[in-house]
Structure 1
């Protein structure tokens, strides 16, 4: 069994490629616990990097339940900040001063309006994540076909001005923490040796979301005889817009010679029907897996065939979602077993209004906190309420769930809140990543929202496809896919077209229904035959001549 191999392997360099529902967190925690118990690693010399504070807390809780305490777990940003502080204190330098709101400084140095400042913030974040300096931005932006609404030379100029002013003020923004920490380790052999001894055993979750800057930090922390475990899924890579490089996961055996790869190809979450529908979206293009896209094996029994529903308007869709939530909440089920997922933040307001009107308890889960929330209280600017969202200039705040700053917004307590308070969860595709519910409704599947209108390059469109795959695989048992033709504020305008990825979904649904129909018919026939046999036997038993 692949899970057992991943947990018990003694390979010092191990890469686990785990698909949706494969139990990657279970594997990671059980591997840490096994090695601590067997004495091959020391808990206080073990570091697990995650992409949210919530994930780190969950991991520590799981390890505690397995009898393991003392393992360090945190985000790349928190780890980098802690190491930087230590390094500067050792060398008699002042602690790093954090700039939590890059847009305010950009507004001071770049003569652009607020909308363009938002675009600049996004582009500078992408550039720093990809280790692209201002003088290289133009070439790299054109090579990656970046679409910010600004000319590359405008961004490069503003980026250079921003860096000069930030340096003059002796400030570091959140992206700088990663680079500065890697520089400290690379440039101070004594300090690096100390850190490598203290973090001898490294574990990385969500490796597909690591960007080049973070990967450089990771490699500078590796000991001469590295002990590294990473886990990720290339088909859940949905943060390329923010600088993530999923090829790092695929190329790890080349980048770190001797790395062994184990694949977890069993889905323990979704029914076979949901797996088939989700895989059909990937098979239509966009998969980052090698070779043909084959549906993973699932350990679940058959469930209901997913449904595709079309609506006249977005209001109709929202009302339907509220009605369906009521129908899905059968006796004994909690409201929190139901989730409604959308591509953007803006879609959720209408759904919430419909839920309220139908007296269905619901909550829009999530807020755009990003790394600022993870570091708040650690010297961040107290006046800042968190780092602004990194949006796409062409999307605007209404068109994009750009709040996935630094890839995850801490999941915002979605799972924990559901346990404490019973309500239908309303959230976006990005924020739902890593979570699961028995019933999931995926709304707004029309062109312009899925894929999002600003996704113009092949890479961006493929990432949107993978994002839909993530949304579909949040469902354990019951899956609904929905779209609408017209928005309430534009009923006379041209009708929207369904998402191009509804076609493979509908084809798969039709095939599943055809397969289910004969089965259902044969079950009825078998039942009728069984009843006839029983009647015949009863009749024979009552015959006085026998």
Structure 2
């Protein structure tokens, strides 16, 4: 195939804007790409076109993205376009490779061990400081330390920059700072570095050693950064050092899909790109090829319905791209109000069963929720309906025993493979492990095992079609190599089951049918989104969920948590103007703000019974003197104490870590009816509200 034919092939099938991206090969380029507009297609074809025309040396271009899965997908596309030697990596993988290479010369000795999970080290640091923590608190503290490090903060500077970060793990800022330092000390004692250290140390070496910086800049002449709205200050600093003042940079992103601000991501770099590079070209991709006009219109309206949240929030909210649907019409989105969580899960599974019976593959259906704790009801409902599912974010595909066994068997068979077709050979090998053409009628472990093996068979069939050429037939050796590469990148094949996933983990994926569940106030937006800026991010998160759907979209919420519980939930404010008979234009900002403001007390607190000044924190929490009679239902208070005892025992923490007696008294006296009222009580912070709020409300409602 001559060069001209290759160039025509690469550009064929691109729309006008995508072609502009693919043929703009020099200088800074900013691509503003909406959901479903083919951004990955545009940038991979740009790279391939640049290589085939001789503008790019494939060994001197680095494509960077944010997840191993996205990087693996980009490498696959580049390979299919004939430029498989181009490197596509995550920021961390690229930095780690450079660090491993330069460490002996720049630092000397052996590179410290890489810490993959922070939990054990944080727990050790907490024990040294005699701090009580549970598993959830450690998770929150790990996230806070990651945020601090990608924001390039130290334990000393953390205190001055984290004023608005709430109370991660239920700890005040000073204590978090001490724990942060303790975590760093334990790592140093054990000669370990974490993923953020990989970036920090690489940045340090590039800044301090001109020879290393010159070597990296000579190696890489052109850069492409995908999902640029998710860049953290630390990642941007490393990118700047890679560039070294040059401008051969292409960035791609969408500010309306910024949903990781809590990890340090900021769209500021994307939005300010044209100012930083005045000579840059800006291309907008707005033709949505993924979703029907019904889905696209609803997504556009969700963003358009946003109202002013004040000067600070408005400055951070960029004008969204207005998508233009390219597909033909589909079904209208559905809205379901259910009596309780169990009823909602049953209604969703019933609709999924109908979709599957009408020909939609289970793997093309997703249930998306705000928090991982919501998944259990849907797991049970799908199991009862005999529908297989996979939990995204659960056990990694390549870590499953049947998958490890399958890879070992396929590797062994590759040494003695005859002229049998790859598809049949894979079926024969996996047949020894329990694979069969028909899915088992049972659920549980047997079904999950079959789904794993079936996914490997389907991948083999897919790769035979896409990778075979007249000159080379995709073989068992090629397939084993592909599985090994995918295992290292955690690029799992498609499993034949309904996907259960949080909205955050659904980013970058798409399905024929999407069920957005639990869309009630307190869950969407989440209860601890208590500023206009965080509420805006919740709106963007729902936007990401909506734009995952190709054809069918279902919104649902429940009015009570449990069957027979108090129906005090309200549908999400984000559905105002979207669902039938609702009014649009809900203002940005937390609805709880009015409640909190009305409860704010100025001056000394006084007993609400006798009027005396309250002196202790416990007295102020319950709002009365210890000598004045309580105004709460003692039965409710005792039920709350019993519940607290069970929670503390399950988490192996003292009871007061869950809630103090004073806070339980305040809850029993106030008898809050919803999450907003509960959040207004002293001693109930965002972390405890998310963890315990629904359970507390149930006790109050039924007590």
Q: TM-score surpassing 0.5?
A: yes
Inter-partner Cα distance in structure 2 for 1:107 and 1:458: 34
2:574 aligned partner: 501
1:214 aligns with 2:235: yes
CA 1:366/1:4 → structure 2, altered by over 3 Å: closer, same or farther?
same
Inter-partner Cα distance in structure 1 for 2:258 and 2:489: 16
Matches within 5 A, 1:28-427: 28-91=43-106, 92-110=108-126, 111-115=130-134, 116-142=137-163, 144-148=164-168, 149-285=170-306, 290-291=318-319, 293=320, 295-329=322-356, 331-367=358-394, 413=491, 416-418=493-495, 422-427=496-501
Inter-partner Cα distance in structure 2 for 1:357 and 1:302: 33
1:13–1:226 CA contact under 8 A, matched in 2: yes
CA 1:133/1:118 → structure 2, altered by over 3 Å: closer, same or farther?
same
- Counterpart among 443, 449, 463 of residue 537 in structure 2: 463
Deviation per CA, 1:505-538, whole angstroms, max 9, x where unpaired?
Answer: 2159999xxxxxxxxxxxxxxxxxxxxxxxxxxx
Which fold has the larger relative contact order, with Cα–Cα distance below 8 Å and residues 6 or more apart in sequence? 1
CA 1:159/1:499 → structure 2, altered by over 3 Å: closer, same or farther?
same
CA 1:473/1:412 → structure 2, altered by over 3 Å: closer, same or farther?
farther
CA-CA distance at 1:331 after TM superposition: 4.4
Inter-partner Cα distance in structure 2 for 1:294 and 1:7: 20
1:447 aligned partner: 521
CA 1:510/1:268 → structure 2, altered by over 3 Å: closer, same or farther?
farther
1:196–1:221 CA contact under 8 A, matched in 2: yes
State which drifts further: 210-219 or 129-138.
Answer: 129-138
Inter-partner Cα distance in structure 1 for 2:143 and 2:226: 24
1:56–1:75 CA contact under 8 A, matched in 2: yes
2:625 aligned partner: none
1:438–1:477 CA contact under 8 A, matched in 2: yes
CA-CA distance at 1:340 after TM superposition: 1.5
SS in structure 2 at match of 1:305: coil
CA 1:146/1:213 → structure 2, altered by over 3 Å: closer, same or farther?
farther
CA 1:119/1:352 → structure 2, altered by over 3 Å: closer, same or farther?
closer
CA-CA distance at 1:114 after TM superposition: 2.4
CA-CA distance at 1:226 after TM superposition: 3.1
Inter-partner Cα distance in structure 2 for 1:305 and 1:411: 38
Matches within 5 A, 1:517-536: none
- Counterpart among 18, 22, 25 of residue 10 in structure 1: 25
CA-CA distance at 1:272 after TM superposition: 1.4
CA 1:333/1:188 → structure 2, altered by over 3 Å: closer, same or farther?
same
Inter-partner Cα distance in structure 2 for 1:134 and 1:193: 32
2:71–2:90 CA contact under 8 A, matched in 1: yes
Deviation per CA, 1:469-515, whole angstroms, max 9, x where unpaired?
Answer: 00011111111101111122x7333521111111122159999xxxx
1:241–1:460 CA contact under 8 A, matched in 2: no
1:429 aligns with 2:503: yes
State which drifts further: 36-45 or 130-139.
Answer: 130-139
Deviation per CA, 1:19-41, whole angstroms, max 9, x where unpaired?
Answer: 11111111111111000101111
2:576–2:583 CA contact under 8 A, matched in 1: no
SS in structure 1 at match of 2:162: helix
Inter-partner Cα distance in structure 1 for 2:32 and 2:280: 12
Deviation per CA, 1:246-292, whole angstroms, max 9, x where unpaired?
Answer: 1111112233453322111221111111112112222232896644x
1:274–1:472 CA contact under 8 A, matched in 2: yes
Aligned residues: 465
TM-score for both structures, normalised by structure 1: 0.80
CA 1:294/1:70 → structure 2, altered by over 3 Å: closer, same or farther?
closer
